[in-house]
Structure 1
Amino acid sequence: MIYHYPTQKLNVGHAPDAHEIALTLAYISDIDIILIQEPYTFKDLSRQITKKHLSYECFSPTDSWAISGRPRVLTYVRKKKGIRTFQLRPFTTDTKEASDLLFLQIFSSTGKSALIVNIYNTPAGSIRAGEAAKALTTLPEAYLPQATILAGNLNLLHNRWQLSLYCSPTPFGLVLISDIDCPTHERGNVLDLSFASSPLALAGAKASIASHLDATSDHQPLITTVLWDQRYKETAQKLRFNTLDHTSFLSLLASNLAGTESSAATEEDLDAFAEKLTSAIQGAYRGSAKRTMTQGIG
């Protein structure tokens, strides 16, 4: 069966709660790849502590945060889905500029591959403003393979995706696949974008706002689907409540059930409520089993 590998991107604004909620909702929604911009990081960068989830492997753009500074992007890949990964580092390792871009080559169980680029492009008036976008234009054309997805918080105002604006042409050599003129920030601008290489765009790659994955950030989450390869089925696991961190479990369960109506007037309503309740319990369990979701990368 051909499957659209779901990839989510979201700027969580360094907020620990938003970061944790984003990971939990992605897990419940069966998201395979998560691109986080402005992630939460513990103030002591030498310890390299951020939010983690037991079902995902976390990738950092640099090896030493103490040298490069706080990472502005993190990428998570779901485990036990037959996805192999290889991180690429086209720029000098552990420089401050390198913390804004993360290149991850992913391989399916059948050998097909795609390059996933996670970007945070600093806005005007900030440190390293526009440097991440500029760095992309310096890459040799051959570096971006036929199968490429680039997504993130680009902080670029352009009339190509925001029709009310007029700016000079963008230098990106990829195809815009996110919705045009749909604000992704609470103040109204289109700041979060997703691009694809032409073959993937022609094959139906598409990105859109996913309000059901809202993690209380001031940015809207985007979800990208790509007609890519066959899905690898995850092995079902039994719930073992003796492995739970109970405080974390109850906190996540309360978050997952927020806004869920408990009344059921019809049999269909009851079935829908039971499904939501089951998903909420499973998500809270996965997020709290064995240890809390907050831990060091190393």
Structure 2
Amino acid sequence: MTKGSRDILVLELKHASGQNIRVVNVYNAPAGCDHPGEGAKKLMELPVTRSPCLVGGDFNLCHDDWAAEWWAGSTTAQAAELGDFLGTEEWELGLEKGSITRMSEGGGSALDLVFLNRPLTQRGWLASCEVRPDLSAGSDHWPVLTKLQCGQGQALRRELRFRFVRAEWDKLRQQLMSQRDSLLEPALSKLRAGREPASVRHTIDRLAEAMQRWIFAGMEAAIPRTATTGQGHPWWSPECTTATKELSKMEAKLAQVLSGGLVDMVLQESVAQARSTAKRKLAAARRNFYREQAGKIEGNEIFVVRKWALGQRQYASAAMRDSDGRDFVTPAEKRTLLRDTLLPHHDEQDPLLVLSQLSPSAARSTHASLTRAELKEAV
């Protein structure tokens, strides 16, 4: 994957739950050193992964997206290329913008960077990412400590689609006009003041990003989103779309005929054939998709998949979390948590006192009352 490069290290980690995460360490040598710029180049050439990925290292590049506030403002060609790559692939900074990792007489530079790809950001696994000068071991660069909580955090988010049929276009125009000065004018003013071609190209990129934020801010305020993601099945193919559309057309025609009190046996037979064809197309598309995914498995992953296929499909229930954020995994821990939460003042010495701790709604239940003997036997 790295083709023998000494300036980039890629680790593929697998959590006990089966979740994968890629960790990439990069050293991008500056001009005048051996293999200058090779680390960043190799990073941009890595194959795209759908798994969470964390990238960190010494990039020796300054860019408006991450540079310190007293940066001189000159961007090299590779820094501009890396900035465009990160924006196109939707990478996000782990450190706060302008976090200094190397001190100097001029104030310091943000040379050591941490990037998170979109799958990692969506899962919310990043617990913290900070510069830690107290952990320095003598280098002129300060350490950066990044903590991940794999498997923790929020569920995978998917953006809902806009419902343009319910858009309030007048409100959208008003929103765009009201936010023009704050979101668009700064980039326009900087573009008008630009003189050097490199600076103008960089400013045009920033203007395009500002226009995108400006438009989406107006859309968020004036256009509602759908209730579902509309992602569909991963195995869906154009043949599936054609077959289901044909079936819908035939069923609509049959419904119109039946509503008129007529019986068309030929049309009913055509609908049955279209339904059978659609089922075959969908089954074939699903089968071919998963066969293709299975064909991509190689190496030790084959044994992992075989072990999974032979499993009994008995999965543990999800972990529970209390108000302090602590996780409870085992059945005994969950039982204790539920008892302490629902019956915080229970008396373990006399289980019959549980009756006096029930809520009024439980006391008004329509169920028949238990006798003392029945309750004692059950407890």
What's the TM-score once normalised by structure 2's chain length? 0.33
Greater share of residues in strand: 1
Greater share of residues in helix: 2
Greater RCO, 1 or 2 (C-alpha within 8 Å, sep 6+):
1
What's the TM-score once normalised by structure 1's chain length? 0.42
